[in-house]
Amino acid sequence: MSKTLKERIASGTPVLMVNPNHVSPTLCEKLVRSGADAVFIDCEHGLASFEDIHHMAKAARYAGGFGIVRPQNQERSTITRCLNAGADGLMVPLIHTAEIARQVVQHFRYAVPDEHANKLLIGMVESVEAVANLDAILAVEGIDVFFVGPGDLSQSMGYSPSVPASGKRAQEVLDLVDKTLQRIRAAGKAAGTLVVKQDAAHLVAQGAQLLYYHADPFVVDGVSTMRQLTVLR
């Protein structure tokens, strides 16, 4: 029997989670069949509905993977509906304090009292406030992965959350991401973050185990490559 995501994380196995960037069960299935361990279904910044969660997570499981949902908020009703719609786990945003972390764990366990042990709970550390409270947040039991979100962290530090296509984030942000990943791992907890091809190896070396990637760059790279080949001919 294949391991759950929670078991993979506990064993130290790297996990690749890809955001399809589109509401598409078919694309979710294709991403898993191509090697992704899980697909990321975004209800905070994306357009996925509760019904979409049901179909996209089901498609990922059909292909042998998992569906992880980012809910639009931390409310108990929202967390409950995401899990009841079929999510294999949640990546909950804006965990600024230990009290918020405890409430999220309580909501998560309330939503699926007989199943939460098999579902993955990811807490997002994505603000300077969260970094300042990191030790207390890491002490909260029940969160399986602590995910460092560089976009919102950048914004909380006074920088744009976006990265130019040919550029990189401010060095101050990159250094804080590295340091935060190291602190999470030093506390004996699993860490995750957003990666791109050029920094994946570095972030793994800093302690990232859950690697989050967007599908759109695959499309852009593929089309660009084919366009260059066409021009060369």
- Sorted by where each starts, the structural domains of the chain and their CATH numbers stand as 5-232 (3.20.20.60)
pLDDT at 3: 87
The two three-digit tokens of residue 50, written as one number: 């509760």
pTM over 0.75: yes
pLDDT at 227: 85
Are 96 and 59 within 8 A, CB to CB? no
Residues 73, 159: Cα–Cα separation, whole Å? 23
Coil/strand/helix, residue 101? helix
Single-letter amino acid code for the residue at 221: D
The two three-digit tokens of residue 98, written as one number: 């230990």
pLDDT at 110: 96
Residues 213, 32: Cα–Cα separation, whole Å? 13
Coil/strand/helix, residue 121? strand
pLDDT at 1: 42
Single-letter amino acid code for the residue at 89: G
The ranges of the chain with pLDDT < 70 are 1, 231-233
For the stretch 75-109, what's the b/e string if a residue is b when 16 or more beta carbons lie within 10 angstroms of its beta carbon?
Answer: eeebbbbbbebbbbbbbbbbbbbbebbbbbbebbb
Kind plus residue range of the DSSP H or E element containing 45? none
- Using only C-alpha atoms, what is the Rg of the chain? 17
pLDDT at 202: 97
pLDDT at 224: 84
